[in-house]
Amino acid sequence: MTEKITPIAIEDKMRESYLNYSLSVIASRALPDVRDGLKPVHRRILYAAREISLFYNKPHKKSARVVGEVLGKYHPHGDAAVYAAMVRMAQHFNQRYQLIDGHGNFGSIDGDSAAAMRYTEVRLTELAESILSDINLNTVDFTDNFDGSLQEPVILPSRIPNLLVNGASGIAVGMSTDIPPHNINETIDALLHLLKHPNARLETLMKYLPGPDFPTGAQIMGNNGIIDAYKTGKGKIILRAKTKIEKKGKKTNIIITEIPYQLNKSRLIEEIADLVNSGKIDGISDLRDETDQEGIRVVIELKANTDTELILNRLYKYSSMQTSYRINMLALVGQKPLTMNLRTILQHFIDFRRKVITRRTKHKLEKATMRHHILEGLIKAIDKMDLVISIIRNSQSTSEARKNLINKLKISQEQATAILEMQLQRLVGMETEKLLAEAKDLAVDIKTYQAILNNQDKLDDLLKDELNETKNRFSDKRRTEIIADEKKAQISEEDLIKDKDAIITFSYRQNIKRTNSKEYARTSKKDYITTVLKGSSLDPLLFFTNTGDVYTIPIHNIEEHHGLSTGESIKKYLKIPLKEKIVNIICLNEEIKQQYITITTKNGMVKKTAAKEYFTNYNSIKAINLKKKDEVVDVFISDGNQEIMLATKAGQTIRFNEKSVNDTGRNTMGKIGIKLEKNDSIVSSNLLNDNDFIIAISTSGKAKRTAIKEYKVQKRNGKGLKTCGSKIHQMSAVLSVPQDKYILIVSSDERLFPVTVKDITETQRDGNMFQLIDLNENEEITGAYILPVYNENNPE
């Protein structure tokens, strides 16, 4: 015999082998069946336990006995895998409704392993027996086991909607399933409603089945993830530990009473301890586990005067006290994996139970019909007993007697066989009456079975009765609370911060300080506070730069200092390019939301934008769209009804109403504020107040003070008015300042000159300027700031 070799590409062989492996894993190992909600290993464990009579009302037997039965007869895999699957079916914290009743150590919610199978004992639970009920009534198909020596069920005729009730999880090849457990009452209520209303909407079904119900309780935060999962088969829900607050004297304790599903309690406690040790969560003085047989009790002891809600929010944010659970309702439908919505899963179970009831009824009808037929023969034989005895006595063999009975009594072979096997005690009158009564009852049963098989409504009535019976037997209360408010699941940055008043100071030397003290005016030597802002630790600070960019720092990120501290360099908190410099800082609090942020530029542009547009989650945004060679000169808060003054280097000023500038979005250019002559540019912009003076300061150190009324209101986009009669002066700053304020004048040599407004000579708008600062050779005044506070004791 010649050997034939067929060449095949290794890619094709690998593809074929991998596909076969994938299909085997998907259909025979990793995924549950939509009908009984079980994977093959779980199905075999339950069936094997039944075969050795481990019923819920019988004594337990060694786990090793069941594992051996499963391995030897149905499941040729590792004993550890089978035992692990059985252990999980016995764990109250993993199974919403346990299928295995275990004696001994079956592990704990702390992640402890179960004892070896030789030490533990098991038996079926009553609910597991409902999954196996009627299996001997031809309700399901059987197939050969792995070696063809025995038969095993392809599916179990479950009366329990187990796929939803106990859920399932598994990883196949290229797919996985995560079906959460549900409350049996609610699941059956949803089935009953769908049975009555086949076209029921999801919203209606969810009135009966509002969401998953986990064995460990806890809370589901929000409905959106549940709705997505029930509508599409996929979704994500947020699970949160359930807590309560206990107060003992001055001390407050947070008590964790329920934890998210499949969370290791010991690991959670370690997580919290690590967060405390790393300083991510402060305010916790002690942490201990007081869990006992009554339930979970993890005690988090707080320090005195600690904000309990703040600690809880941080625990939810940083620890597994709040976790997400992915739902992927994928199961086998006719050996094919399908992702199904809630209604489809419920409908599959209804269809399955209809088939089970139909097969069971047919089986009972066949048995009842056959028994009734036999009884008719026995009754007929009793009526003609003398003839029967004569036939039997005169027959030479059993077969001859059977043949003669068939011919003489006009009966079937089965009836004749039953007559020959009948005991003489049946001839007693009472026994005869029993046969007649049995035949009568069977006739009623046969009509009932036929009615069920011939009428869909009667079959559904029987299905409803069975569902209600199951519900009454195994009903319990919902454990997992559903919090409808989706927002409560979102832990924002503000939820992690204690809301407290803050004073922010920013100095000329760019030192920033946060304090809640009234003594905030302290600065380092030869430095002055140029900005003082009041807000909350929850508010963001906006740093506007000359390039039109805005950088955001939450106030709580700035380290808090005592009042006498000089603060820290802004470089510690803000990394901005070297070409940019900070023009102004604004604290974006709730009051400012109703106002405007106005920006003026070197080229005379003015832009007004609603402050609420700066409330973003970005660390850096654009505040204005600048033309080439233009830059931001000033930024200030306005209410929309004030007057603005722009001043140029050449000494031109224009005063106009803010209303003439329409508000626009952030990334816009704005409007022209003043028409500039060639080589002129804006040096200052101001919001005007009636009692202010206009202080003009030249680059040469001269200055003057003028009443604001001398600067008449004009229309925007004009050339403006002169602020000085002489053309030789170049302006370094033109400020609108109250008389009791100090101005900080800055020179090119980095010298700082604090002067009071009262010390500046008052003249008319077109009057001369007077020397205020004596400058060194080639030194110029480069700018001026209005000091919000002035500390006369500041060291020089």
| Domains 242-320 and 642-796 belong to one CATH topology | no
Q: List the beta bridge partners of residue 103.
A: 121
- CATH code of 642-796, in short, is 2.120.10.90
> Would you state the structure tokens that stand for residue 105, as one six-digit string?
């150590």
- Report the range of poorest mean pLDDT among 88-92, 222-226, 254-258, 789-793: 789-793
Q: Which long-range contacts (CB under 8 A, 24 or more apart) does 589-593 make?
A: 589/535, 589/536, 589/539, 592/637
Choose the weakest-confidence range: 31-35, 471-475, 492-496, 768-772.
492-496
Do 703 and 762 contact (CB within 8 A), yes or no? no
The mean pLDDT of 356-360, rounded to a whole number, is 97
Average pLDDT estimate for 163-176 = 88
Burial 153-162 (b: 16+ CB within 10 A, else e): bebbbbbbbb
Residue 50 pLDDT greater than 80, yes or no = yes
Q: How confident is the model at residue 488 (pLDDT cuts 50, 70, 90)?
A: low
CATH number of 354-474: 1.10.268.10
Confidence bin at 173 (pLDDT 50/70/90)? confident
Q: How does DSSP classify residue 614?
A: G
Segment among 78-87, 334-343, 470-479, 530-539 with least mean pLDDT: 530-539
Percent of the chain with pLDDT over 70: 94
pLDDT at position 347 is 97
pTM: 0.71
- The reply to whether 119 belongs to the active site is yes
**Which of these ranges, 10-19, 120-129, 498-507, has the smallest mean pLDDT?**
10-19
Give residue 522's pLDDT band: very low, low, confident or very high (50, 70, 90): low
Within 8 A by CB and 6+ apart from 517, the residues are 503, 562, 563
pLDDT tens digits for 542-601?
Answer: 999 999 999 998 888 888 877 677 788 999 888 888 889 999 999 988 788 889 999 999
Class assignment of domain 242-320?
alpha beta
- Tell me the pLDDT tens digit for each residue of 189-204: 999 999 999 999 999 9
Phi and psi for 702 in degrees, rounded to 5?
-90, 155
Q: What H or E segment, with its residue span, contains residue 221?
A: strand 219-221
Sketch the domain layout of the chain as residue ranges: 38-157, 242-320, 354-474, 642-796
Q: What is the H or E stretch that residue 326 is in?
A: strand 322-328
Residues 377-390 have pLDDT tens digits of: 888 888 888 888 88
> What tens digit of pLDDT does each residue of 263-322 get?
999 999 999 999 999 888 888 999 999 999 889 999 999 988 788 888 898 899 899 999
Mean pLDDT for the stretch of residues 388-417: 89
Q: Can you tell me whether residue 423 is helix, strand or coil?
A: coil
What pLDDT was estimated at residue 708?
A: 93
Q: Which of 18, 21, 119, 618 is catalytic?
A: 119
For all residues of the chain together, what is the average pLDDT? 90
- At 156, the pLDDT band (50, 70, 90 cuts) reads very high
Q: What is the pLDDT of residue 599?
A: 95
Which pLDDT band holds residue 719 (cuts at 50, 70, 90)?
Answer: very high
Residues 15-30 have a mean pLDDT of 70
Query: Quick one: tokens of 536?
Result: 């909350």
Q: What is the pLDDT of residue 796?
A: 41
Of residues 256 and 14, the one with the higher pLDDT is 256
* Lowest mean pLDDT across 119-123, 417-421, 426-430, 645-649: 426-430
Residue identified by tokens 């832990």 is: 491
Q: Average pLDDT, stretch 448-471?
A: 95
pLDDT of 795 higher than 50? no
Of the listed ranges 81-95, 419-433, 633-647, 663-677, the least confidently predicted one is: 419-433
pLDDT at residue 73 above 90? yes
Per-residue H/E/C for 253-295: EEEEEECCCCCCHHHHHHHHHHHHHCCCCCCEEEEEECCECCE
> What mean pLDDT do residues 656-668 have?
92
Tell me what pLDDT residue 189 has.
Answer: 97
Q: What is the pLDDT of residue 594?
A: 83
CATH H superfamily, domain 38-157: Topoisomerase II, domain 5 (3.90.199.10)
Query: What is the Cα–Cα distance from 796 to 791, expressed in whole angstroms?
Result: 11
| 363/449 Cα distance (integer angstroms) | 10
